[in-house]
Structure formats: C-alpha cells, structure tokens
C-alpha cells in the first residue's frame, strides 16, 4: 500500500478544523511544511507544495466522525530550480495546466497509541488509487502561549510516481528520475484549551 501522511492536510489555507466544532485548530503555516524529494540522475532533487486547501475534522476521542478532504494546488510546486520546475509542471510530469490539483479524501481514520492511519483515495493527474496515510500526532501545552495547546503531526510517505502517470513518454523510464518520491510532512497547529 502506498504510504502518505494524512497530516499534510493540516497545513491548509484557508485554515481548516482539526477537531470538533468547538475545538477549532489554527495552522501555524510558518512552522509547517509539505516537502518532497526524488533521485534524479543520482542526485537528490528537493521541493515543496506551498499551497493546499481542504477540510479536516479530527478529534482523537471521536475518530468515527473524523474526515479529511484535501486539495493540493500543484501549480506553484517549487524546487528553486527554473529548469526542474518547468519540467515538473509540464505535460510529461504533473501537467499542472490540465491537472491543477491533487486530492486526498479519507474513508476511515484509526488510531494505535500516538500513530494514526487514514484510509482513503489519493488522486494525482486524475488517476485515483487507494491510499493508506499513516501519521503521528502529539498534542501538548504550547510553551510560547499560556492557555493554549499545540498539535504537531509528522510523517513520511514514499509514492510511486508512475502509478499516477507522473512521467510520460521518455520520462516513463526510471533511468533519469526514480519512480519513488518521498513526501515529508511537518504540521503544527494550535488552539485554546
């Protein structure tokens, strides 16, 4: 099963709800990130998706009502390298003009200790596959603000780009760009106690 961290969703703008209706969380965008890396001709290319939106309802005490629906804007993807960015955005990879977003929609969320797992559907380039999204979630008192708590979610997932059609024509081979793409997530959100 593909591993994808469901807490990518917590970095969303506009800010979503992480828990129940009375427990709204505010994402700290400066402390949060959604980054990726892939091997290209033996070197690691790293980048990020700076913009996504969606809805998250996640109360650790009431997971039956939890849901995640995330839309990641693929158009501003950036590696800080103009040539690589142009290739990634083009028709052979993400084709951001035709497919401007990726989406994850959960069907269930479960918990085992501090580890969570969201099962659902991940869509990239209009290819939808089952996905299992594991993540950790720690909720502690916020050391910088009295009377507030802070949630930190972390995860790492390895996706196979070719499963989603990311790599067309000569790029469908893995000699120059590896099939495995690692996605690293660090999401920080806060709310009042």
Average pLDDT of the segment spanning 145-168: 90
Mean of all residue pLDDT scores within the chain: 83
What would the pLDDT profile of 112-139 be if each residue is shown by its tens digit? 987 999 899 999 999 999 988 888 988 8
pTM of structure? 0.79
pLDDT at 24: 60
The helix or strand, by DSSP H or E, that contains position 121, with its residue range, turns out to be strand 115-124
Q: Measuring CA to CA, how many Å separate 45 from each of 26, 76, 114?
A: 31, 16, 31
Domains by residue range for the chain, with CATH: 6-165+182-192 (2.40.128.110)
> Which position has the higher pLDDT, 25 or 36?
36
Average pLDDT of the segment spanning 27-38: 84
Q: Phi/psi of residue 6, each to 5°?
A: -65, -20
Please choose, from the candidates 92, 93, 160, the residue with its C-alpha nearest in 3D space to the C-alpha of residue 122: 160
Residue 114 DSSP SS3: coil
Range of weakest confidence among 9-18, 78-87, 135-144, 152-161: 9-18
């Amino acid at each position: 099963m593909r591993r994808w961290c469901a807490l990518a969703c917590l970095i969303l703008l506009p800010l979503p709800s992480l828990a129940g209706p009375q427990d709204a969380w505010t994402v700290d965008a400066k402390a949060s990130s959604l980054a990726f890396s892939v091997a290209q001709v033996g070197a690691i290319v790293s980048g990020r998706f700076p913009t996504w939106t969606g809805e998250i309802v996640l109360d650790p005490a009431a997971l039956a009502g939890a849901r995640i629906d995330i839309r990641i804007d693929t158009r501003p993807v950036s590696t800080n390298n103009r040539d690589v960015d142009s290739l990634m955005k083009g028709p052979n990879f993400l084709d951001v003009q035709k497919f401007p977003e990726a989406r994850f929609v959960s069907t269930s969320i479960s918990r085992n200790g501090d580890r969570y797992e969201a099962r659902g559907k991940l869509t990239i380039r209009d290819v939808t596959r089952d996905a299992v999204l594991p993540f950790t979630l720690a909720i502690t008192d916020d050391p910088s603000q009295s009377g507030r708590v802070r949630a930190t979610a972390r995860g790492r997932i390895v996706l196979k780009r070719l499963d989603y059609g990311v790599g067309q024509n000569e790029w469908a081979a893995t000699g120059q760009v590896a099939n495995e793409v690692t996605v690293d997530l660090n999401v920080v959100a806060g709310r009042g106690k």
